[in-house]
Chains A and B, each alone.
Chain A
């Protein structure tokens, strides 16, 4: 009976995947994608994850986990697997899987969707589960420590440098997404600003009034956030007040940078922790609501399966389908960042080794599901509208008329009137050139929500979606800056003992300042870049993120080989090889491509040529030297990142060769086996 059930799931899944791949009509119903996704995840979880856990990792239900052996009632606590699942999912789910698929939709709905499904089931979920398991076997050691212990110092340093670089690029690109969503939008800006005092109020409540009552504090906070969305709408009607919040990109970037610095040096209970509680509640609530609304409404997707932009001429980011769809989707399929969480708090909570399947593999499956919903929300828009929102003025033309003419000439008809009507419905003055993915996702979400729960509230839903995205983007920004700060303090500690103390104020100010200056620089350049900045920063972020995943998979593959599992090394080795191919190809194209839309150096040279010949307007000429320098810096950065990956791969191969030849390697850092007496 069970066999028949799984055969049916496989057949339905194959039919749905075939349906979305071969469909070539005007529109396709989103349910095709939903059904395909559910079947692919179900089969991946039931069969592949079970096989990997049993045969490759040799998960042992009778071996005591660190939570049991080292139970201290605080960080090491055996916890019910669904609770750990919730915490782990809340930790790994960030804005990445919402933004990546939205941008990748420029290739059509099909390429991104297929990679989200295949990449997650065979790559991302396997990575998360494997690293979680290996860290659990090593008392919850971090990825960097495991790299050092098992491969050697090279792997360890590479992991640390990779983490720091990805953090800087990630925060810059997320900052840019928020800035673009708030630019000249008093409603969005005032709502996002209001989230800060609301978080502080909740922080004070949780510390002074009712210590540790997180549910109460969060319910109050979420109610205030919803009130802020409504309040922003009222403010938007008021001529004088709205002018205060009608800010341009540079001013908002300065605000985000200042905010990031302050948030990193304030005590966590005041801003970071309460903001995170609110963002987690909103995140879980909105994801459930979106899934519910998609299934209730079953919207038609208007984007073609595949667009002409697979040739690399896309307006949102330059570069052909291979390798850029993989680089762009990033977190929705494989995210190196997850390896840091999987080797952090989570392994210390696991009560039984068999739980790694649900927690590691299952959480990533859900994350991938979020990416699928973002893809649906992006592709249900009229393609013309989607491109009008997401294309930078440098690409489609600075005026609304120029933009609609360019976009319509691609075969995606859109009119100025249509865009104005849409903007008016959403309570915005314009939606043109709101690059970064967040606004188009918000328009998509608003149209699903309003058709499911009331048409009249489009503007409210739109700003709710913007607020929702901004809240957890800012949480990632705070938390990331703090992690970066600790890493910088760790490095500074090698030079001066005082600067290495995490609680010393001069050290906090200096290290936070360095981290904020790092991402603030890229954010500022992204804001002044007439091509939108996203087209530079997102691929760079994608490369950095996939690089970190590559390092994690190297550690996993190296350990599997050392444990005598050479014949199963392909389980992590094949995803590793694939990541190495896509990141290297992407870096290669970003360096050598002669198309200024793709190549960093070509772009720098083209701009330098225009500057020298006087072809630029005075304001363009003023920022040109910065943009030229930045593109060259990006080229260097991309090369460094890819070199780091190859160095770690070489180091892993060295270890593999020594194992094969029977030469000595570093001893395993696994904690000795003790039988589990008590089950959590």
Chain B
């Protein structure tokens, strides 16, 4: 499935592995949390990067100790209305200082894209028939944010400018 970065499809180097698929000898792979736990040694002994998928009921704390070995964390939206991944992404960035890629997948609508980037998500997996200009547009249509979060600090409201930590003293 197409992967979007800043609204546009990119060449994706990651292979998303189902639990019953063999781990290929080469190439970056994303596996479920369960598989990561049981096959961790096999996965880390390879040369290429590993990422872990979290279901929406799996908290960021579940992989907090492993983040040093992971180049990517993928967060699932089983339904676009299930907003737990917004907190998971933010915890990965703010609480665990995670610097790798955060990817959102599942049922996501363009109208959530700006929020995703503001909680620290880098890339979004979108079904081919839903790729379109709405995604890039979604990042531009609102230029003001009222609360501190992650990502660009442009377009700060009065409140945000005055909340400490967002402006140098």
- On whether the two chains bind one another, the answer is no
Interface residues of A (CB under 8 A from B): none
